[in-house]
Amino acid sequence: MDFREHSISKLKENGFKITSSRCCVLDILSKSKKSLNAYEIAAESKKMKASIDTSTVYRILEAFQKLGLIHFIKEQNGYLCCKDFECKKEQHCHHQLVCEKCHKVEEIHLDDTDFIKSIRAKNPSFEIQNHYFEFLGKCASCNK
């Protein structure tokens, strides 16, 4: 199953209609090699003759993010499709390695259960609902 098929299945599972706008955003994100912000996605949609306005793109991205289909890359202020979408873990803990030179983003999947437990032990009254990590540095290509 590819990212697009998985995403459509997940949308249907959660009661979302499969609209042409949602499919267009899925296509744009799945083909992108870099993170994209809502304005870039809206501009790309115009090239595809779909012309989705930015506010609609934001609503679509919000839904996709809640379903775990995409990740927000804070350092780049953009969204990237989840590469490990077939992950069976209940806690969807994916983190990103962000190259500060070429802006490549690599998704890594870490079992950080012990780390979360230690935070809960130190802050028992704080309810952790989600988290993410971005590690900034240089990728292997840029580190040569």
Q: How confident is the model at residue 110 (pLDDT cuts 50, 70, 90)?
A: confident
Please tell me the predicted confidence (pLDDT) of residue 133.
80
According to DSSP, residue 36 is labeled B
Q: What is the pLDDT of residues 28-38, one digit of tens each?
A: 999 988 889 99
Domain ranges of the chain: 3-137
User: End-to-end distance of the chain based on CA atoms, in angstroms?
Assistant: 35
Number of neighbours of residue 124 by Cβ within 10 angstroms: 8
The CATH architecture of the domain made up of 3-137 is Orthogonal Bundle (1.10)
Least confident of 3-7, 12-16, 69-73, 84-88: 84-88
- Maximum mean pLDDT: which of 21-25, 31-35, 106-110: 21-25
Res 12: pLDDT: 96
Residue 64 reports pLDDT greater than 80: yes
Cα 86-88-89 angle, rounded to 5 deg: 130
85 or 132, which is more confident: 132
- Band of pLDDT at residue 132, cut at 50, 70 and 90: confident
Mean pLDDT of 116-140: 87
Query: How many Å is the Cα radius of gyration of the chain?
Result: 17
Task: Give the model's confidence band at 87: pLDDT under 50 very low, under 70 low, under 90 confident, else very high.
Answer: low
DSSP string covering 84-137, please?
-TT---SS--EEEEEETTT--EEEEE---HHHHHHHHHH-TT--------EEEE
